[in-house]
Structure 1
């Protein structure tokens, strides 16, 4: 049976940059083992599966995200890519769409300039001593870190953008943490802050651009910089740009996306 599939580059307006994501619209749910096998076959940091919901539900679609190794509770770039597909390829009549997810209800709205804005949760985090595995994996890791209980990420703050770009953590050591991943961040030179994200615990060595980590980065930097609107760059090799705003218990994360490929998947 054929299923449509789309691959997009998210948080960019140019092909071969940003973060690639696969999007598969379904008419009904497939078994979890099939979803994971599809994500592993795609071999991208995330594949999103979207399914329309009945009219009496409080969201338009359900959405689930899988890395090649596991399901994750929240993903920004694949949600952005999913919304782009809905707005541009599925004849969606509205300028907003909502998703039911493991992290609650999420929204995406389309701006007049073509940017898409994610309505994501403001994720709480806890300051604690940096785990020894992180200090072993990254020589200049600071003594204090922040832990995000909802997704098990750790975040550390480095001195400057150059330190973030130069970081080469030992991924095997990071994987021994048994969590999802490590966010590293610092003030930016030409933007408010920069970041990179390593998620060997979820089967992704380095994620090129990660919308979901901005649910932590934005409230952290909003407090540090004393401003609610922030421009961000994820300074991986591919790189990506995000416009962000702290809105109380929600975080607005805006970006662009471009279509790379479309086709069909044949399942028995």
Structure 2
């Protein structure tokens, strides 16, 4: 697959397309003072990836209802130029149906014209590394809690992050 002038390795397995991305380094950081006020929730941990316009990964308490958190909107840009990736471990109540996800996530980058992304492969690359470092293993299933929703998959192998998911409504180009 071509992304601009860059070739991105990809594989097709049934209805799932997998793309291979280099793993990014995540640096744990203290919770920024503005973050809990902006989100109106308690934050458990944070990590940075990339430069000043990279990503801020924010871990919330296990089972947090991410869908109930209002999008930060342009207020985010007053505090950081990083895209904001919210995540927490999934908590399936006893007796409830398995949602087939290990973690939940949402992605915001309003300062770049993306108030909220529906399903984000680049964020999944970060979450794969983040949660592997937190002990969840080399394979991860993440449910994106945007309005549109989505289930993203990842596998770490050969020093790369493979991100996959079912493609619905897309066009296949040979």
TM bin, normalised by shorter chain, reads 0.7 to 0.9
Shift of 1:205: 0.9
Residue 39 of structure 2: aligned partner: 138
Residue 236 of structure 1: aligned partner: 146
Residue 161 of structure 1: aligned partner: 63
Residue 90 of structure 1: aligned partner: none
Question: Structure 2 matches for 1:56-95, cutoff 5 A?
Answer: 61=2, 63-64=3-4
Shift of 1:248: 4.5
Residue 129 of structure 1: aligned partner: 30
The partner residue of 2:128 within 218, 222, 226 is 218
Residue 179 of structure 1: aligned partner: 81
- Cα pair distance change 1:170/1:231, threshold 3 Å: closer
- Cα pair distance change 1:165/1:225, threshold 3 Å: farther
Contact 2:44 2:59 in 1 (8 A): no
- Cα pair distance change 1:121/1:228, threshold 3 Å: same
SS in structure 1 at match of 2:8:
strand
- Cα pair distance change 1:168/1:248, threshold 3 Å: farther
RMSD, matched Cα: 2.2
Residue 94 of structure 2: aligned partner: none
SS in structure 2 at match of 1:205:
coil
TM-score (norm 1): 0.55
Return 5+ residue gaps in structure 2 as ranges. 92-98
Residue 156 of structure 2: aligned partner: 246
CA distance in 1, matches of 2:81, 2:159: 24
CA distance in 2, matches of 1:195, 1:168: 13
Deviation by residue 1:10-33 (Cα, 9 ceiling, x = unmatched) = xxxxxxxxxxxxxxxxxxxxxxxx
Aligned residues between the structures: 162
Question: Runs in 1 of length 4+ with deviation above 4 angstroms?
Answer: none
User: Are residues 1:116 and 2:17 paired?
Assistant: yes
Question: Structure 2 matches for 1:29-68, cutoff 5 A?
Answer: 61=2, 63-64=3-4
The partner residue of 2:54 within 148, 152, 158 is 152
Between 120-129 and 219-228, the greater mean CA deviation after superposition: 219-228
**Structure number, greater radius of gyration:** 1
